[in-house]
Amino acid sequence: MRLILLGPPGAGKGTQAQRIVEKHGIPQLSTGDMLRAAVNAGTEVGKRAKAVMDAGKLVSDEIVIAIVSERIDQPDCANGFILDGFPRTLVQADATEAMLKAKGLALSVVVEFRVDDAELVRRVAGRYSCAQCGSVYHDTDKVPANEGVCDKCGSTHFKRRPDDTPETMTARLQVYYKETSPLIGYYHAKGKLRSVDGMAEIDQVTAEVEAILSKL
Ligand code: AP5
Ligand code: ZN
């Protein structure tokens, strides 16, 4: 199964990707996570990406395409993968097609998450994640069962993203509508697009996603 999760910042792509990983055993390839790891490690890519990410703009196609192309060659991607936050431009979408074609593979489906802007801003403002395993939480909508302790790994250390400010979120949304939303038509034209109501509760969205995956 080779999936793309498409949607604006805060739509729930990462949240649902973690559930697909658990249920289907295929890896989540989040370009945002990979870029944040590069920033934290202080690599050349990280140094180039940091200011761009903090401003809510897009890192260059060249950088992200190179990262993804290297990642999908890893052995754990042999049975499929979830692309989360990639592709994000038409150039990246064409590169994805070319990468898969070169391996004799095809995309299974693109799942688009539809969520209103006001809800996206509210979600991002309340987001935090486990500093150890990356599990994503929300101040009111998804709190750990045992307050202050990560459900998955038991860590008590959490963090917030530097780009989850209201100002940066405005820029991220503008970038999404200009650069990324054209991919909805792109994948619709290829017959690959399925849309879910991302406004629903997390479990309900998972059920909608699973209904799509069960038909593949
Ligand atoms: P990235 O890390 O990809 O961020 P994003 O696309 O902006 O997406 P988010 O991670 O903000 O949202 P999400 O949809 O995963 O939502 P989540 O599940 O966390 O990118 C960051 C930056 O990296 C970019 O700005 C760019 O600079 C760079 N970058 C990355 N990829 C790139 C690329 N391909 N090209 C160029 N640059 C790139 O949920 C959000 C919150 O809501 C959480 O708190 C969650 O608990 C809660 N929540 C989730 N679902 C629900 C629900 N159904 N109901 C209520 N609450 C919910
Ligand atoms: Zn954890």
CATH number for 160 = 3.40.50.300
In sequence order, which residues have a C-beta less than 8 Å from that of residue 92 and are 6 or more positions away? 61, 64, 65, 86
Q: Is 108 exposed, middle or buried (0-12, 13-18, 19+ CB in 10 A)?
A: middle
In a domain, 112, yes or no: yes
Owning domain of residue 102: 2-27+74-214
pLDDT in the model for residue 159: 96
**Which of 179, 214, 201 minimizes the C-alpha distance to 6?**
179
**CA–CA separation, 159 and 94 (whole Å):** 34
97 in Cβ contact with 110 (< 8 Å):
no
Residue-wise pLDDT tens digits, 173-210: 999 999 999 999 999 999 999 999 999 999 999 999 99
Residue 199 forms part of a structural domain? yes
Would 36 be classed as within a structural domain?
Answer: no
pLDDT of residue 81: 98
Q: Given the structure tokens 């038909």, which residue do they identify?
A: 215
Q: Who lines ligand 1 at CB under 6 A? A: 7, 9-15, 31-32, 35, 52-53, 56-59, 64, 85-86, 88, 92, 123-124, 126-127, 136-138, 141-142, 163, 172, 200-202, 205
Confidence of residue 41 (pLDDT cuts 50, 70, 90): very high
Going by pLDDT thresholds of 50, 70 and 90, the confidence category of residue 51 is: very high
CA of 130 to the centre of ligand 1 (A): 15
Compute the mean pLDDT over every residue in the chain, rounded to the nearest whole number: 97
Question: Is residue 48 in some structural domain?
Answer: no
Could you tell me if residue 206 is inside a domain? yes
Does 56 map to a domain? no
Task: Please give the model's pTM, rounded to 2 decimal places.
Answer: 0.96
Return the ligand number nearest the Cα of 173: 1
Binding site members for AMP: 31, 36, 57-59, 85-88, 92, 161, 172
ipTM: 0.97
For residue 32, being part of any structural domain is answered with no
Q: How confident is the model at residue 14 (pLDDT cuts 50, 70, 90)?
A: very high
d(CA 169, CA 58): 13
Number of domains in the chain: 1
Percent of the chain with pLDDT over 90: 100
CA distances 188 to 90, 110, 169, Å, are 13, 9, 27
